[in-house]
Structure 1
Amino acid sequence: MTEKGKKAEDRLIIRRSGYPAKGEIVIGTVTRVLDFGAFVSLDEYEGREGLVHISEVAPGWIKDIRDYVKKGQKVVCKVLDVNPKRGHIDLSIKDVNERQKREKIQQWKNELKAFKWLEIVGEKIGLQRDELAKIGKKLIEEYDTIYGAFEEIAFEGYEVLSPIVGEEFAKAMAEIAHENIKPPKVKVRGYFELKSNAPDGIERIKKALTEAYKFANGVNMKIEYVGAPRYRVIIEAEDYKTAEKVLKNVTSSVLRTIKKLGGEGNFVREAV
């Protein structure tokens, strides 16, 4: 069966054991909608279902809960309370802000990708689904998410996971991780205010800015005209230490050069 035709229930999904923590942001699927609330099956937890009381669905008075939630709908919730003895999990939809919702949805999308990558590793090595699930649970215990484990191996090398999953499995994971996960970039930025009263002042300013590119080795750097006398510089690097070092060198070079050419300038840092 092709991936396109593969049923969702046939895909590898590794769920956590136990209960979510109070205050945790979780993602789930609405299974039942009643007049007093909606029951939500937690996608990340094995066999766990929570209740969103009608008062926790949305702000204000709700006449009909079905105007807000429907069976089969994906929802992001905050865990209000957990009672393992009774098996109760109280949830809230209205207490989740837009940023938390976006971040959780993206995290779950990443996790679904990671489950697929794990399946590919299992097929390559010849592991059965139950063996793969056991390895996945170990990875969740150690790194909180499967995607987090792939990130770790992408940035640190297969050796970090060898003690947990074995060398062969770790090497196969590393191969997929390097193909799919790129190190995050960081940005620093600011703008120069450069002036020159010389007849060829514009050329002198250009010359000063050109000096900046001598220090751009290993980073992405862009200088753009904002509007006289401002010129913005944006530096993108693997880490802040590298970005800050390049920015310091660039700033010193440009200001030193414009001064040498009879002009004046200063630099203003901007928040990213």
Structure 2
Amino acid sequence: MRKDLPENSDLVVVTIKDVKNFGATVKLDEYEGKEGFIHIAEVATGWVKHIRDHLREGQRTVCKVLNVDKERGYIDLSLKRVNAHQKREKISQWKNEQKSAKLLELAAEQLNKSVDECEEEFAGFLRKKYGTLYEAFEEAAAEENWLPEKKGKWKQVIIQLAKENVVPPFVQIGGYIESYSLAPDGMDRIKASLLTGISEGVEIQYAGAPRYRISVQDKDYKSAEETLRKSILAITESSKKNNVVSEFTRAP
């Protein structure tokens, strides 16, 4: 639990505590002992006739911080300014943080140390390096040679816990390739050209002549973009050699 205060425009996970006609008091789940308030005007777009049609006690949701009065400790929040995508992302991030905190507790038990000692020895370093502790666990689960420069029992404990409890992430990008050929063996030429773009993590599927769907899965967007670029380049060069016209369009 954080002991500081959120900043304006931050997204925060909250639990509804008390609903009144003019607004709702909430508990900020990520901040120790902190509460906020959602005015009825910030509950939903349009006119809210019955606030309880939108909020109920015990409900968990995501709000945007409008204003923080640090002297009084007042935090004004908005529900209507958070879209569905932002809500999903924030809830997922919060759940991951909860999970990583539990994994750190397990690590502390196995190392016969307190959580504070683990924070000082390695958790603080991992947060600084990866941004969040959960991302450190993801890397530990995915990398064959994780943090080769680091030694110590804690490293092996983290790797083991990560491999047992964390699924390595991946991202997916892609688009469509339209391929044409007027040659008698045009289909064979198109197939040969498309095959040059297939590699690890790359899939090409027929999507109705003359379109083919290309999908790339990788650990992050930077790697996926580079893989996609290389695949399209290989297909384009092979198409020219085979007298095939191939055009790529990025999926929206």
State the TM-score, normalized to the length of structure 1: 0.76
The structure having more radius of gyration, on CA atoms, is: 1
Determine if the alignment matches structure 1 residue 159 to structure 2 residue 140: no
Match of 2:29 among 6, 27, 43: 43
CA distance in 1, matches of 2:86, 2:205: 34
Deviation at 1:82, TM superposition (A): 0.7
Which among 175, 181, 184 is matched to residue 195 of structure 1? 181
Residue of structure 2 equivalent to 1:216 = 198
Question: Aligned-pair distance for 1:112?
Answer: 2.4
CA deviations over 1:28-84 (Å, ceiling 9, x no partner): 111122333211111111111111122211223333322321111102100011112
Deviation at 1:96, TM superposition (A): 1.1
**SS of 2:147 mapped into structure 1:** helix
Partner residue, 1:270: 250
Paired residues for 1:136-175 under 5 Å: 138=124, 142=128, 144-154=131-141, 158-159=146-147, 162=150, 167-175=152-160
Task: Report whether the alignment pairs 1:123 with 2:123.
Answer: no
Secondary structure in 1 matching 2:46: coil
| 2:56 matched residue in structure 1 | 70
The 3 A distance-change label for structure 1 pair 209 and 270 is: same
- CA shift at 1:109, angstroms? 2.1
Q: 1:101 to 1:215 in 2, by over 3 A?
A: closer
Please, which moves more after superposition, 35-44 or 211-220?
211-220
Tell me the secondary structure at the aligned position of residue 12 of structure 2.
strand
Matched residue type, 1:107: Q
2:161 maps to 176
> 1:80 aligns to what?
66
Secondary structure at the residue paired with 2:188? helix
Deviates more, 1:231-240 or 1:247-256: 231-240
Cα offset, 1:154, TM superposition: 4.8
**Structure 2 residue 241 is the aligned partner of structure 1 residue 256:** yes
- The answer to whether the Cα contact below 8 Å between 1:196 and 1:205 also exists between their aligned partners in 2 is no
The 1:125–1:20 alpha-carbon spacing in structure 2 relative to 1, beyond 3 Å, is: same
What is the letter of the counterpart of residue 205 of structure 1? M
Task: Find the counterpart in structure 2 of residue 55 from structure 1.
Answer: 41
Using the TM superposition, name which of 132-141 and 145-154 deviates more.
132-141
**Partners of 2:213 and 2:51 in 1: CA distance:** 51
**In the alignment, residue 194 of structure 1 is paired with which amino acid?**
Y
Distance 1:190 1:109 in 2: 35
Number of residue pairs the alignment of both structures matches? 245
**C-alpha distance in 1 between matches for 2:83 and 2:160:** 37
1:158 Cα offset (Å): 4.4
Cα distance in 2 for residues equivalent to 1:58 and 1:139: 41
Percent of pairs with identical residues: 34
Is contact 1:218-1:237 (8 Å) kept?
A: no
For structure 1, list consecutive stretches of 5 or more residues without a partner in the other structure: 1-14
Mapped pair 1:234 → 2:219: no
Distance 1:54 1:124, change over 3 A: same
